[in-house]
Amino acid sequence: MSSDSTTPATQLRVGRLTKAHGLKGAIKLELFTDDPGRRFVPGAVFTLQVPTSSPWHGKTIELVELRWYNQHPVGFFKDVPDREAAEALAKAILWIDQDSAEQTDEEDAWYDHQLVGLAVVRDGVQIGTLTRLEHLPAQDLLIVKTATGEVMIPFVKAIVPSVDIAAGVITITPPPGLLEELPDEPDTADAAPAPETPPEPAATPTPTEQDV
């Protein structure tokens, strides 16, 4: 997709390649879009986010066909002829160029620049500001600047239930210990010794006939 200087392009993350499927180069996908019929059409070109050591680094990939197997999306891509080639793309993240002025109405789909700078709120109290996102093969992370430094928060529904772009707020419900250190368990070596039990008094010997 081309753009001129009046409509700057940015990128939208739309999927992740997970693992090879079969022997003919097919790859299972995790979709980050509610409209795969529009995003994943034959001829669609995606920018790849892969490690610098990957032969695909800095390249794009073109979709030939998207199929569904047992309700799971599987993609066939140009220049990925066999399972070996597909395995080399496992965990790659797919991005598309998108007009930054276009507002997406897809649920849970945002541009990075829409989120950076938003207030991060827990229990109604702002704990920091989002400075950037890290898109890792396993999951995405929110990098939040707090009064005590940066913290990393997994960008998953269970921990980030709400993103309100209009209000400028990201609501989080982190589990205990994610934002603050849990109290240390008492060290048994440093524990106070148990009080000593006084010895029982010696029993008085019973007199025998010789003692009488």
| Sheet order of strands, 149-154 included | 149-154, 140-146, 125-135, 119-122, 169-171, 162-164
For position 134, what pLDDT does the model report? Answer: 83
Q: Residue 61 and residue 189: Cα distance in Å, rounded?
A: 59
From residue 25, give the alpha-carbon distance in Å to each of 30, 95, 127, 142: 16, 20, 46, 33
Task: Tell me if 46 sits within 8 A of 14, measured CB to CB.
Answer: yes
pLDDT at 112: 78
pLDDT given for residue 81 in this prediction: 94
Q: Residue 149 region, left (φ>0) first, then alpha (ψ -120 to 50), else beta?
A: left
DSSP state of 2: -
Asked if 46 contacts 61 with a C-beta cutoff of 8 angstroms, the reply is yes
Question: Which residue in this structure is represented by tokens 């392009």?
Answer: 9
* Domains of the chain in sequence order: 9-99 (2.40.30.60), 112-171 (2.30.30.240)
Q: What is the pLDDT of residue 5?
A: 34
Per-residue pLDDT of the chain (212 residues; tens, 9 = 90+): 333 333 344 778 888 999 999 999 999 998 887 778 888 999 999 999 888 888 899 899 999 999 998 888 999 999 999 999 999 999 998 988 875 555 555 555 677 778 889 999 999 999 999 998 887 766 788 999 998 888 999 888 889 988 888 889 999 998 887 776 544 444 444 445 555 555 555 555 555 555 54
The model's pTM is 0.54
Q: How much is the pLDDT for 177? A: 76
**128 within 8 A of 147, measured Cβ to Cβ:** yes
